[in-house]
Amino acid sequence: MKVPFLDLKAQYESIKEEINNAISEVIENSAFIKSQQVKDFEKEFARLHNVKHCIGVGNGTDAITISLKALGIKQGDEVIIPANSFIASSEAVSSAGGRVVFVDNNPETYTIDVSKIEDAITNKTKYIIPVHLYGQTAQMHEIVEIAKKYDLKIIEDSAQAHLAELNGSNGWQKVGNFGDMATFSFYPGKNLGAYGDAGAILTNNDELARLARMYADHGRISKYDHEFEGFNSRLDGIQAAVLNVKLKYIQDWTEKRREIASIFLNEIKNDIIALPKVPTNVKPVWHLFVLRAKNRELILKQLESKGIHTGIHYPIALPNLKAYSYIQAKSNFSVANQYQNQIFSIPIFPELNADQIDHIIKSINKLEI
């Protein structure tokens, strides 16, 4: 049996006609830029998260850079980032002129370790970018408290966590409701994926929404009048049309991921494997299902031999990348340093069928080192 890591073709087959019609409509109407499809998408994506404003942008990396610019980042401002993430989180900081400061991840949840944030704060720290990694929310209530205490702004990197929820004194709230701004990626492999690059920013703040929209569109006031220099990073009409079709299904697909995750959590039983832990106040959306084991390379070989494709997110923690060779204190990231050699991701996507799920579980339960 073959179990791919992700099957975008299977998803397309299930909504082919709607997608093809939506794309043709954009082309028939030459509705490529700032079109009704984009406005419709922004409205619905904001509504689903219960946030006031959505600004469609070119991709999830630009969404972070643009949010930092809208928040007024200055050259050399320090920005706290988890050591375990995709490079986009930190890359966007450098492109906006900020200085990246990494913080280790929590050994249980894999998101930023809130107990280590304050040690990383200096008088230059201005922002925190928690990442809702693998579809699980970061510990936002604690992060919001720290941000208040030190007067920091928060951008929630939600690229892996469309519709994820966190419970607290205000009840269950979706991502995008905790920080000043939240950023999303619609890279094809994300839970909500476009057919190319796309991204978005959510915010409840009117002024930040206005600035983000201007930054994404050349700092424009009107066609040839520009208040400041921005970027060319708009959500295009074809991608918005694809996303509008998929938005009708995203909640069902998310529930499907949750069902599969709960089967994995109940049925994977092998002492050499550590399962992900979910705090009771988090409803993850399971962008990835990440296991941990010593002897990872042997395990991955055994799974590959059973036709199960796996991934590693991420094999090199951010502070250990050559791109960050200027960062000295690598020993500060003991969890990330250890986990980069142990974590691996097994397939989890809505179109996985019962036989494939069963095959994954049996194969993992039979793993021997």
Ligand X SMILES: *Cc1c(COP(=O)(O)O)cnc(C)c1O
The footprint of ligand X (CB under 6 A) covers: 59-61, 85-86, 88-89, 131, 157, 159-160, 185, 187, 197, 199
The residue to which tokens 């550590």 are assigned: 274
**CB closer to ligand X out of 257 and 359:** 257
**CB closer to ligand X out of 19 and 201:** 201
Instruction: Take residue 170 and report the two structure tokens written for it.
Output: 């205000």
Alpha carbon of 73 to those of 66, 69, 97, 214, 273: distances in Å?
10, 5, 7, 16, 42
**CB closer to ligand X out of 241 and 318:** 318
Instruction: Output the smallest distance, CB 196 to ligand X, in A.
Output: 10
In whole angstroms, what is the distance from residue 317 CA to residue 33 CA? 37
In whole angstroms, what is the distance from residue 233 CA to residue 223 CA? 15
Instruction: Take residue 69 and report the two structure tokens written for it.
Output: 């610019």
Instruction: Output the smallest distance, CB 187 to ligand X, in A.
Output: 4
Instruction: Output the smallest distance, CB 129 to ligand X, in A.
Output: 9
**CB closer to ligand X out of 160 and 363:** 160
CA angle 78, 161, 290 (to 5 degrees): 95
In whole angstroms, what is the distance from residue 243 CA to residue 186 CA? 8
Collapsing DSSP states into helix, strand and coil, what is residue 125?
strand
Name the residue with the smallest CB distance to ligand X. Answer: 60
Instruction: Take residue 265 and report the two structure tokens written for it.
Output: 């959590």
**CB closer to ligand X out of 3 and 318:** 318
**CB closer to ligand X out of 268 and 348:** 348
Instruction: Output the smallest distance, CB 184 to ligand X, in A.
Output: 8
- For the four alpha carbons of 102, 106, 107 and 110, in that order, the dihedral sign comes to negative
Instruction: Output the smallest distance, CB 170 to ligand X, in A.
Output: 25
In whole angstroms, what is the distance from residue 257 CA to residue 265 CA? 12
327 CA to centre of own chain = 24
Instruction: Output the smallest distance, CB 155 to ligand X, in A.
Output: 11
